Structure 1
Amino acid sequence: MTYPAIDPHGAVVLITGGGRGIGLATAELFARHGAIVCVADLDGAAATEAAQSIGPQAFPYTADVSSAGSFSDCVRAVLDSFGRIDVLVNNAGVMPLGDFLAEPEATSRTTIDVNLWGPVHGMRLVLPHMISRRRGHIVNVASMAGKIPIPGMAVYNASKFAAVGLSAAVRAEFAPTGVSVSTVLPSAVRTRLSSGVPLGRGLPTVSPSTVATAIFRTLATRRAEVPVPRYLAAWDLLNALTPEPLMRSARRLIGDRRALTSVDPTARAAYEQSIADQAAG
């Protein structure tokens, strides 16, 4: 499938979760290539600080992606200001960790609301506009946790598995319209989402800037799925061909239960409190 080209220079790019981490790195990268960057975040102060740090072609917006109304207000404001959205990056996400049975229901609901309903809302709001113009590109930032089940991340896994399937189905449905959907699947990323979790030791770990580069490149390639790092593209085949006992042994060797057994609660406390605050509304 060949999609209409989108020149990053002058493109209007809306990025959720843009106040920090992957979202901020992505906004910075698009801005360096001449894009008009709309930085949306639940934390309005973080969005403002991010936009100010990027420069005059970046603009802050406050958006709760779990709320269709809040997300709609953000999209409408961007369209009122710039007349179009060329690229939507659904990046906002939350990642609680811990025992599945002990996770508060409000936290589980927030995880689904942000990680799944966020992209649903974003695509339903922006797709009609893109379709009317017969061009546009959407990037849904999922996770390799949307392919690989990890103890201590059950509901997060569920939200990201769902986001991967959602992206693939919407991509297929709207391919004839000229609008593309790509899914970026990072491994562990060095952001506050992974605070308190021991990284490395067999677990592929990447920086926000590396993920931002993968997001930016989809504008040219329009690839359906982009694992980060790229060699994780072999996971589906490896998982299909490897006997479960052998896979279980290999996962044990790299410490796949670390989200249950090795988290530093002090280092993670501030981030977990932010999720609890969001869940409390």
Structure 2
Amino acid sequence: MPTPPLDLTGKIAWVTGAASGIGREAALTLARYGATVIAGDLDINGARATAETCGGEALALAHDVSQEAAWAACAQVVGERFGRLDVLVNNAGIMMSRPFSEAPVEMLRRQNRINVESVYIGMQTAEPLMKAAIAKGAGGASIVNVASIYGKVAGAQFAAYSATKGAVRALSKAVAYEWAASGIRVNCVLPGPVQTNLGADWEPPVDADGRPIDPAAALAAWASLIPMKRLGVAGDIAPMIAFLASDAAAFVTGAEFIADGGYTAA
């Protein structure tokens, strides 16, 4: 039996954190494969730029993913505009670094709100819109949650971040299991170190004396640990997201996909 082509024509795809980095590249890739993109981000100007580049009926939304009310307001717009949702990419997140002994619990709480609660609320928010798509004849719907290899293996000074990304992995599997019969698939992507706009996405690590490490030096140190000897780029992750969003992955749910240049292979 031939594998269905990677074609997202006619699908409505909502991407969070779409103003930059993996979120922006995912939105552009989904659009290239035919999807109508909803680009959400706190940075509404960045979201608008992404939507404009996507073209077609792409929509930009100002979206604070940590707030239930914001999810509800955005979902209302999506429902009124499109009446359904085929794909949700929970990409928005934050990365904060500090030695565990010096990391206040608020650092965990902040990352949990943005990295975990947003995924939880987002999936619940998407469910009725996805069921509407299925009721209108869609063969299924897809949720792609972006976690991290640091939810699978240890990373220096990332204890709180690792805790939240590990939670995303477990949450994705649990919901995938519950919703498998409904036609809503849930999968998880685990990027390795990816070179994005660090100023927007994380707080740079500090050295033993508490001084911030130069981002370029931090990136070089990461690259030296990767068997491929380079950092990933957003374009290394987006095609995987597009595959999981498509009907080519119709029998894939509760799965995890790693893209890390071999970092976790050993």
Do structure 1's residue 22 and structure 2's residue 22 form an aligned pair? yes
Residue 210, structure 1, aligned to residue 236, structure 2: yes
SS of the residue 2:96 aligns to: coil
Moved more, 50-59 or 156-165: 50-59
Distance 1:144 1:90, change over 3 A: same
* Matched-pair contact (CA < 8 Å) for 2:93–2:115: yes
Q: Tell me which residue corresponds to 1:124.
A: 124
Instruction: Give the match's secondary structure for 2:187.
Output: strand
Q: Which of 200, 222, 229 pairs up with 2:223?
A: 200
Return the TM-score normalized by structure 2: 0.80
Distance apart, 1:99 and its partner CA? 1.7
Deviation at 1:101, TM superposition (A): 3.2
Match for 2:142 among 133, 137, 143?
A: 137
- Quote the RMSD (CA, aligned, Å): 2.2
Cα distance in 2 for residues equivalent to 1:69 and 1:102 = 33
Distance in 2 of aligned mates of 1:216 and 1:129: 19
Normalised by the length of structure 1, the TM-score is 0.76
Alignment correspondent of 2:34:
34
- Partners of 2:87 and 2:143 within 8 A in 1: yes
Q: What is the CA–CA distance in structure 2 between the aligned matches of 1:180 and 1:215, rounded to whole Å? A: 13
1:184 equivalent in structure 2? 189
In structure 1, C-alpha distance between the alignment counterparts of 2:129 and 2:26, rounded to whole Å: 22
Deviations 1:180-221 (A, max 9, x none): 001000111111246612231123631101100111111222
Contact 1:31 1:57 in 2 (8 A): no
Residues 99 and 229 of structure 1, relative CA distance in 2, 3 Å threshold: closer
Q: Tell me the SS of whatever aligns to 2:258.
A: strand
Quote the Cα distance in structure 2 between the aligned partners of 1:215 and 1:12.
14
Structure 1 counterpart of 2:209: none
Classify the secondary structure of the residue corresponding to 2:53: helix
Query: Is 1:164 aligned to 2:173, yes or no?
Result: no
Where structure 2 has 5 or more consecutive residues not aligned to the other structure, the ranges are 135-139, 205-214
Amino acid across the alignment from 1:66: S
Residues 132, 5 of structure 1: alpha-carbon distance in 2 compared, 3 angstrom cutoff:
farther
* Residue number in structure 1 paired with 2:151: 146
Task: Render the CA deviation track for 1:67-109: whole Å, top value 9, x for unaligned.
Answer: 1111111121111101111000000000011122333444332
**Percent identity among equivalent residues?**
34
1:35–1:57: 8 Å Cα contact kept in structure 2? no
Aligned in 2, Cα 1:99/1:231: closer, same or farther, shift over 3 Å?
Answer: closer
**Equivalent position SS for 1:189:** coil
Compared CA separation, residues 6 and 68, structure 1 to 2 (3 A): farther
